[in-house]
Amino acid sequence: MDIIYLHGLKIPTTIGLFPWERQIKQTVVFDLDMAGDIEKAAATDRIEDTIDYKAIAKRIIEFVGGSDFQLVETLAEAVAKIVIEEFQVRWVRLRVNKAGAIRDARDVGVIIERGHQG
């Protein structure tokens, strides 16, 4: 299994439980590791034969920027579903970092792994 990754994708969004969080945009940071087979793309040198991380980034930015979740867990599940279903990625490890959520912590968030059903 080969891994294609997209790390450090920063997106401002509305996220959080507290009333003050519902009034502002906060930046969440995404790291994605996606299973793929790069052998065909390496042979053909064609984007159509691999995971198009630029297209995935664009879609995630669009979705997350317009989203309005309370929990990073819900946001992570929704993004993983997009990656798997819309881009036919077999497996994704997704880290969502909500930096600044805890005053004395560098960052906080979730890491999930999801695979294609079937």
Q: pLDDT for 15-52, tens place per residue? A: 999 898 899 999 999 999 999 989 999 999 999 999 99
User: Average pLDDT of the chain?
Assistant: 94
């077999």: which residue's tokens?
90
CATH number for the segment(s) 2-115? 3.30.1130.10
Taking a C-beta distance cutoff of 8 angstroms, is the pair 75, 17 a contact?
A: no
Taking the model in full, what pTM does it have? 0.93
Query: Which SS3 state, helix, strand or coil, does residue 89 take?
Result: coil
The average pLDDT across 95-107 equals: 87
Which residues are designated catalytic?
A: 98
